């Protein structure tokens, strides 16, 4: 049964294929039932149904307008100068359109830092002839407008441009030319009214009166050479008074320091020992006991001999068996450190307070600078004054060149903003460094003594090549304060600068002399005082006095306060680390005392424990 049904279906399907092969394709238009073939073998009627969707209908008109608008705006808006890639061909107007947009919140003129190429904003280069530039420059300052080289229009005063018809200083209008011609013709007629015949040679000769009359508008119009006659009594009197005042003024400028009798007093037992050695000779056993430095804790000894404050102290070079002090009582004293602890000699050569002192490399001589405007070069052993130098100004700092072959070169920072260089052997001024705008406070040699750094009351640092009066590096920032004391680190790579805003700043001594922002030492109060800053011999500690009589110690690596010592009543103005005894420090203050501090249990060579020596 199933086989017969299958054969009937195949037979019917074959007939339908035969009909489709012999008859043309039916009309795709839908047909009604009446029009369709009523034959039972024909295909069933197919009625197409309209498509339906559950999504809401979207109007894409605005989308197409937005896309078109974006394309149009991108093709016509100005080019962003910060973009490095342009996806279309911009027009000339787009390339040269001015920068627009909201103003930058931190820029005064609204331009971001990246859009600047000049401190006043963005400057474009324009090729323009020098004559045309001068013409437009002068036109702008006379009429208030000028031609814009990048566009075919004018900038500046538009009303003035319309009023003057856009003329430049070199383009005189017709009516102005006619006016000038009439004025010149009138002048010629007035000159020739007398009918005098004028020699053409005189007219062309500038040395004649005729030429002067013809050229009245020249700077020397109508002027003739005038021979000085005899002075009247009143003129003579005035000239004498003026010459006298001028001489007094010049004499005051050249005024030397105040004269004072140089004296010295030796306080020791004898100037030479039984072996004939001088009292300034260093002990033979004076050697560094340890390379590692320690912070002192206890007072060992006190020197009290100055009747007023002590302004500076200096250890004897390399050995430190003597210490030199400059007093405000006009005296310089030198004290024994290793043995008796007493004053060995007093040097009296200044009539006013002594400001600064400095040893030569071997310690046999030293310099002293006083407020009496004198710089004196002393023999340490005998107390004799070898030379006296003065410019009539107060020396604030004195230094000798550290090179062994230049120990005859003296540099002094003066109150008249100059650094003066003398040759001690001849007494002549060999150089003047005159760039500072205030009194010079410090002189510090760096870079193997080829250069030196100076600080001043003008709140700046200046670096000089030795012997050349030209600044090679100028350091001045708005945040900087005056730096009255500078010290060189033992490794010679850093400068510690005592700033009057109560901090110690560190500068590199390399080529750029940059501020080391990672190192800053603070906590002490030094505003108003020139407290000395110093390093330990191994460079591990930074040391400074303050205005309240304390001595501060900081760790060099961590910049943290290591210890403070209450040293003086009043200002602790100076502090020096002993060059050999790594745990000993000397301080001085305005209370007139010099104190010696030590780490371990107090001990003195003669059994003195925290003793006081007077002289």
User: Ramachandran region of residue 86, left (φ > 0), alpha (ψ -120 to 50) or beta?
Assistant: beta
Quote the CA–CA distance of 44 and 363 in Å, as a whole number: 131
pLDDT score of 106: 61
Give the range among 113-122, 360-369, 415-424, 570-579 with minimum mean pLDDT.
113-122
Residue 464 has what pLDDT? 93
The pLDDT-based confidence of 603 (bands split at 50, 70, 90) is very low
Given a cut of 90, is residue 24 above it in pLDDT?
A: no
Highest mean pLDDT among 9-13, 287-291, 344-348, 607-611: 344-348
Owner of token pair 């627009």 = 100
What's the angle, vertex CA 235, arms to CA 231 and CA 236, rounded to 5? 75
Lowest mean pLDDT among 187-191, 255-259, 358-362: 255-259
| Residue 50 Cα distances to 26, 47, 53, angstroms | 21, 10, 10
Predicted confidence (pLDDT) per residue in 135-164, tens digit: 888 888 888 888 887 777 788 888 888 888
Tens digit of each residue's pLDDT (9 = 90 or more) over 32-60: 444 444 555 556 666 767 766 676 776 67
For residue 387, pLDDT over 50 is answered with yes
- How much is the pTM? 0.59
Q: Is 597 helix (H, G, I), strand (E, B) or coil?
A: strand
Share of the chain above pLDDT 70, in %: 74
Mean local confidence (pLDDT), 116-120: 70
pLDDT class for 602, splitting at 50, 70, 90?
A: very low
Please report the pLDDT score of residue 205 as a whole number: 74
Nearby residues of 293 by Cβ (< 8 Å), 6 or more positions away: 536, 537, 538, 540, 541, 577, 582, 583
CA angle at 272 for the pair 269 and 277, rounded to the nearest 5°: 140
Residue with tokens 């390379």: 291
pLDDT tens by residue, 541-585: 999 999 999 999 999 999 999 999 999 998 999 999 998 888 899
Contact yes or no for 123/117 (Cβ under 8 A): yes
Burial zone of 510 (CB within 10 Å; 0-12 exposed, 13-18 middle, 19+ buried): exposed
d(CA 498, CA 503): 6
Tell me if 566 sits within 8 A of 550, measured CB to CB: yes
**448 or 221: which leads in pLDDT:** 448
The per-residue pLDDT for range 195-240, each reduced to its tens digit, is 555 667 777 777 777 776 666 655 555 555 555 567 788 888 888 8
CA distance 181 to 175: 10
Report residue 313's pLDDT band, with 50, 70 and 90 as the boundaries. very high
Cα 593 to Cα 7, 311, 351, distances in angstroms: 138, 10, 21
The 10 Å Cβ neighbour count of residue 448 is 9
Please provide residue 580's backbone torsions phi and psi, each rounded to the nearest 5 degrees: -115, -45
> What is the per-residue pLDDT for 332?
94
Taking residues 163-177, report their average pLDDT: 78
pLDDT higher for 72 or 494? 494
């Amino acid at each position: 049964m199933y086989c017969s049904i299958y054969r009937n279906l195949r037979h019917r399907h074959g007939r339908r294929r035969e009909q489709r092969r012999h008859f043309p394709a039916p009309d795709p238009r839908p047909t009604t039932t009446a029009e369709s073939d009523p034959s039972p073998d024909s295909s069933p009627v197919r009625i197409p149904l309209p498509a339906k969707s559950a999504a809401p209908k979207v109007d894409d008109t605005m989308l197409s307008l937005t896309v078109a608008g974006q394309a149009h705006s991108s093709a016509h808006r100005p080019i962003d100068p910060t973009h490095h890639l342009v996806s279309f061909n911009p027009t000339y107007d787009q390339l040269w359109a001015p920068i627009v947009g909201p103003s930058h919140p931190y820029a005064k003129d609204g331009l971001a830092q990246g859009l600047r190429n000049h401190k006043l904003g963005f400057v474009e280069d324009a090729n323009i002839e020098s004559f045309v530039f001068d013409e437009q420059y002068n036109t702008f300052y006379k009429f208030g407008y000028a031609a814009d080289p990048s566009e075919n229009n004018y900038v500046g005063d538009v009303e003035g441009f319309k009023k003057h018809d856009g003329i430049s200083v070199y383009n005189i209008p017709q009516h102005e030319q006619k006016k000038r011609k009439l004025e010149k013709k009138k002048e010629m007629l007035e000159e020739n009214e007398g009918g005098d015949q004028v020699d053409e040679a005189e007219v062309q000769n500038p040395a004649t009166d005729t030429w002067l009359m013809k050229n009245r508008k020249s700077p020397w119009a109508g002027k003739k050479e005038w021979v000085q006659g005899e002075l009247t009594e009143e003129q003579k009197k005035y000239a004498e008074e003026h010459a006298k005042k001028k001489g007094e003024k010049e004499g005051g400028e050249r005024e030397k320091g105040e004269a004072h009798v140089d004296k010295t007093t030796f306080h020791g037992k004898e100037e030479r020992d039984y072996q004939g050695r001088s009292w300034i000779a260093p002990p033979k056993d004076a050697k560094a006991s340890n390379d590692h430095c320690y912070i002192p804790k206890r007072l060992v000894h006190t020197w009290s001999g100055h009747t007023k404050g002590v302004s500076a102290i200096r250890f004897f070079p390399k050995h430190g068996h003597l210490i030199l002090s400059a007093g405000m009582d006009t005296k310089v004293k030198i004290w024994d450190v290793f043995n008796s602890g007493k004053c060995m000699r007093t040097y009296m050569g200044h009539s006013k307070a002594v400001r600064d002192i400095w040893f030569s490399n071997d310690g046999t001589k030293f310099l002293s600078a006083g407020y009496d405007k004198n710089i004196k070069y002393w023999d340490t052993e005998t107390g004799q004054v070898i030379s006296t130098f003065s410019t009539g100004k107060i020396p604030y700092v004195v230094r000798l060149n550290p090179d062994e072959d230049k120990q005859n070169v003296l540099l002094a920072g003066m109150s008249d903003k100059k650094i003066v260089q003398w040759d001690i052997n001849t007494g002549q001024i060999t150089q003047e460094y005159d760039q500072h705008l205030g009194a010079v406070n410090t002189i510090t040699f760096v870079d193997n003594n080829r250069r030196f750094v100076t600080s001043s009351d003008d709140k700046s640092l200046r670096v000089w090549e030795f012997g050349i009066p030209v600044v090679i590096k100028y350091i001045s920032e708005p945040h900087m304060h005056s730096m009255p004391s500078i010290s060189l680190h033992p490794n010679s790579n850093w400068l510690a600068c005592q700033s009057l805003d109560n901090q110690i700043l560190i500068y590199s001594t390399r080529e750029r002399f940059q501020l080391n922002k990672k190192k800053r030492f603070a906590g002490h109060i030094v505003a108003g005082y020139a407290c000395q800053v110093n390093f330990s011999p191994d460079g591990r500690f930074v040391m400074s006095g303050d205005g309240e009589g304390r001595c501060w110690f900081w760790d060099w690596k961590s910049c943290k306060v290591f210890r403070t010592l209450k040293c003086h009543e009043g200002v602790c103005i100076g502090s020096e680390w002993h060059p050999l005894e790594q745990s000993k420090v000397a301080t001085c203050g305005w209370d007139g005392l010099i104190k010696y501090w030590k780490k371990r249990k107090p001990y003195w060579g003669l059994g003195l424990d925290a003793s006081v020596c007077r002289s």
